């Protein structure tokens, strides 16, 4: 397995643009992998949590040389173990509200003595089923650990979360954060925007990579100015829905 070029790019301060994959389809993942993004995220939280399908999507992305991230549904050790063993090198964990939760995520992604990850790599895709004999010696540094801050509690504890050793990226979830702040469906509310900008500054001050999801291209220069380098700009389900709706509308307009 290759080293984690996405982690290296982020640590080098390079802007990395990505696409969210919610359809759970290897074909969609493969397509996203050749359309100019720097990474693609397989969403196991709001997409189908099917470990075999996630493995197929990892294979599809690897076949076209695309960096893959897997978002797990929850930060439990057994779930992270499965995702890492099928070959994920970057994982995103939602709803991390405390430094203790962040430390638990890191531990689940590290082999002992640095963590609690189970020593089953010899039979897993992660090591090419034992072909990469030194996988366990290299994996702790290879894995990119990303946690999501998407609640008022997370913002209250953000400095400690970002300071957690082993956390590489802190990702802001605008939709859940805005809902928790009392503005459901309105991540553009001034109070939410102010909270997000403050959070990005605190993440960067801790020396960690800041990430966010936003389809509004008008916001991208501001995010870059703030120091965001892990930026999700599209999603397969959304692009397909809007593209198909536009095609149907054009056809009906052409026919009068």
Residue for token pair 């999507």: 57
What is the spatial distance between Cα 106 and Cα 146, in angstroms, rounded to a whole number? 9
Residue 206 has pLDDT above 70, yes or no: yes
The active-site residue out of 8, 35, 46, 137 is 46
Mean pLDDT, to the nearest integer, of 15-39? 97
CA angle 83, 212, 17 (to 5 degrees): 80
| The pLDDT of residue 179 | 98
Alpha helices in 87-189, H assignment, sequence order: 99-108, 135-142, 152-156, 158-163, 174-180
What is the spatial distance between Cα 122 and Cα 134, in angstroms, rounded to a whole number? 10
CA angle 189, 234, 55 (to 5 degrees): 125
Among 168, 162, 172, 126, CA closest to 144: 168
Residue for token pair 């290299």: 138
Mean pLDDT, to the nearest integer, of 39-47? 97
Residue 2 has pLDDT above 80, yes or no: no
Predicted TM-score (pTM) of this structure: 0.96
Domains along the chain? 5-254 (3.20.20.60)
What is the spatial distance between Cα 100 and Cα 7, in angstroms, rounded to a whole number? 23
Residue 1 has pLDDT above 90, yes or no: no
Three-state SS at 245:
helix
Q: Sort 136 into a burial class: Cβ within 10 Å, 0-12 / 13-18 / 19+.
A: middle
What is the spatial distance between Cα 4 and Cα 126, in angstroms, rounded to a whole number? 12
What is the spatial distance between Cα 195 and Cα 99, in angstroms, rounded to a whole number? 19
Joined together, the tokens standing for residue 148 give 């999501």
Q: Based on the residue annotation, tell me whether 46 is a catalytic residue of this protein.
A: yes
pLDDT in tens, 112-140: 999 999 999 999 999 999 999 999 999 99
Confidence of residue 151 (pLDDT cuts 50, 70, 90): very high
């Amino acid at each position: 397995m290759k080293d984690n070029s996405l982690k290296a790019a982020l640590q080098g301060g390079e802007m990395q643009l990505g696409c969210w994959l919610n359809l759970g389809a290897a074909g969609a993942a493969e397509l996203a992998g050749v359309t100019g993004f720097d990474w693609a995220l397989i969403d196991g939280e709001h997409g189908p949590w099917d470990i075999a399908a996630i493995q197929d999507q990892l294979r599809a992305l690897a076949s076209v040389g695309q960096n893959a991230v897997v978002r797990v549904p929850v930060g439990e050790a057994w779930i992270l173990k499965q995702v890492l063993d099928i070959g994920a090198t970057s994982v995103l964990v939602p709803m991390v509200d405390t430094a203790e939760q962040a430390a638990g995520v890191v531990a689940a992604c590290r082999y002992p003595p640095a963590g609690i990850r189970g020593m089953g790599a010899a039979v897993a895709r992660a090591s090419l089923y034992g072909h990469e004999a030194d996988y366990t010696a290299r994996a702790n540094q290879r894995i990119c650990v990303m946690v999501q801050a998407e609640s008022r509690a997370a913002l209250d504890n953000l400095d400690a979360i970002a300071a957690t050793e082993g956390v590489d990226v802190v990702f802001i979830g605008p939709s859940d954060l805005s809902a928790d702040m009392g503005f459901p469906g309105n991540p553009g509310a001034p109070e939410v925007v102010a909270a997000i900008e403050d959070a990005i500054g605190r993440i960067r001050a801790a020396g960690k990579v800041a990430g966010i999801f936003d389809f509004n291209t008008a916001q991208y220069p501001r995010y870059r100015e703030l120091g965001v380098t892990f930026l999700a700009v599209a999603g397969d389900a959304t692009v397909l829905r809007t593209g198909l709706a536009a095609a149907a509308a054009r056809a009906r307009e052409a026919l009068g």
